[in-house]
Structure 1
Amino acid sequence: MYAPQDDTALLAEAVCREPAMPGAQVLDIGTGTGALALLAARCGAAGVEAVDVSARAVLAAWLNTRRSGQPVRVRLGDLASVASGRRFDVVLANPPYVPSRPGGPFVRARGGRAWNAGPDGRAALDRLCARIPGLLRPRGVLLLVQSALSGVGTTLERLAAQGLHVDVTARRVVPFGPVLLRRGPWLASRGLIGPGDDKEELVVIRAIRTTECSSCAR
């Protein structure tokens, strides 16, 4: 289960600024503890659905939503099983994006599924880029947070290629947490960071669905 960290805080600020939030139907992908789903409800969303593939995360989010009294529906599953054929006004996403050596010790570590995302950090991001247009209503908004280590330009290009208007709306440089500190030498060996680097840039990408597209199945 992914506990709220710097990327959660950066995306939370974007949620609070989002003009489409009041009255919106919201989907929170990879909800973890449910922090962003609860924030969306507090910011005036009409309905919030929070999904995660981790049963532990779903239980934690469910308990947190019950304690808060906010109208959030928490479900176990991936996008294919939970949101197929449905569209939302706002989609929130803080996917796994940490580059990870296949079969390495960090991949096998407990909780690794919450951040490990393949050699280039894009395993989850590429799946999201392909599915997001079909999840958004016309003028629907995606708010996504990722690290610069996992190719911000690639995310922007893939979303734009599907007819979305994309912008980077927030940036923040933060110190490496324990996950990145442990794999620093491997990241440096692949040229993803320089020797001795101990900080990463986080960005929030805001994408608006402005056109119909062939991948937006109803």
Structure 2
Amino acid sequence: MTTEALTAVPGLRCWVPRGVYAPQTDSRLLRRAMRRERITAETDVLDLGTGSGLLAVEAARLGGRVTAVDISWRALAATRLNALLNGQTLRLRHGDLATAVPGRRFDLVITNPPYVPAPGTTPPRGAARAWDAGRRGRLLIDRICDTAPTVLRPTGTLLIVHSHLCGTDTTLTRLEKAGLRAEVVDRALLPFGRVLRSRLAWLREEGLTAGGTTEELVVIRAEHA
């Protein structure tokens, strides 16, 4: 039912139950970008789709006042326990992305949403909810791009990580149309994992990959223009 990993973010303990996204390369990339931001005791941080809560815990350890949101009660339970394991305090909110914090604005919004392109039209179920995001992988990314200005303070910053398979330029353009200035601040190449390898033929049919078996992860940083 559970695993406990000490390697995803050095120095932190992490309990990840079945069905909750375990921290991986994208989590580490986002953590690195987050650590470059000036997080102090006056920084209000929002973690959208917190999963195991590891990045929320890290933001709290850096001094931030952190609100962690997830639609999964199991993820929130893991987040609560991971905060206790690491001696940190978080505000937990159950809900669908920014609708869980109506009317609130933050200095820093971090998010590692599901972004894996998936065949079919039915919403993902079970463990796949942690990574599947529609035929173009943008089921949640587009919503985050469109609503980001409403949860960012005038000097606030958004950090979002996802795969090039769901369109890096599409995200940059969508954020700019929403009134934010956006740029890629981190990249990492890695081989397809188990899920993408199992969908390789479909990804090629859809034109989402030219035949290679590597993906580029990107962290996009955005702020009010």
Normalised by the length of structure 1, the TM-score is 0.89
Deviation at 1:80, TM superposition (A): 4.8
Residue in structure 2 matched with residue 93 of structure 1 by the alignment? 111
Aligned counterparts of 2:99 and 2:221: Cα–Cα separation in 1: 25
Q: CA deviation at 1:144?
A: 0.4
Per-residue deviation at 1:75?
A: 2.1
Contact 2:121 2:135 in 1 (8 A): no
1:28-79: CA deviation from partner (whole Å, max 9, x where unpaired): 001011011011112221x100011111111111111112121211222113
Aligned to 2:59: 40
Structure 1: 4+ residue segments shifted above 3 A = none
In the aligned structure 2, how far is the partner of 1:185 from the partner of 1:61?
36
Partner of 2:100: 82
Shift of the alpha carbon at 1:103?
A: 4.7
Aligned mates of 1:146, 1:199 — CA distance in 2: 14
**Any unmatched runs of 5+ in structure 2?**
1-19
Instruction: Give % identity.
Output: 50
- Specify the SS of the correspondent of 1:32: coil
> Relative contact order: is structure 1 or structure 2 higher (C-alpha 8 Å, sep ≥ 6)?
1
Determine the structure 2 residue equivalent to 1:62: 80
| Superposition TM-score, scaled by structure 2 size | 0.87
* Per-residue CA distance 1:170-210 (angstroms, 9 max, x = gap): 01101111111111111111111133x22100000000124
Q: Whole-Å Cα distance in 2 between the matches of residues 103 and 88 of structure 1?
A: 34
| Residue 147 of structure 1, aligned match among 163, 188, 193 | 163
Please give the residue correspondences for 1:108-187 in structure 2 after superposition, counting only pairs within 5 Å: 108=125, 110-187=126-203
The residue number in structure 1 matching 2:36 is 17
Partner of 1:102: 120
Deviates more, 1:80-89 or 1:201-210: 80-89
Write the letter of the residue equivalent to 1:201: E
SS of equivalent to 2:30: helix
Please state how far the C-alpha of 1:94 moved relative to its aligned partner: 0.5
Structure 2 counterpart of 1:202:
217
Separation in 2, partners of 1:103, 1:25: 36
SS in 1 for 2:140: helix
Which residue of 43, 47, 50 corresponds with 2:68? 50
3-state secondary structure, aligned to 1:70: coil
- Cα deviations by residue, 1:122-152 (Å, 9 ceiling, x for unpaired): 1101111111100000110000001000011
Counterparts of 2:98 and 2:37, CA distance in 1: 26
Q: CA RMSD in A?
A: 1.6
User: Which stretches in structure 1 are left out of the alignment for 5+ residues?
Assistant: 211-218
Does the residue aligned with 1:203 lie in a helix, a strand or coil?
strand
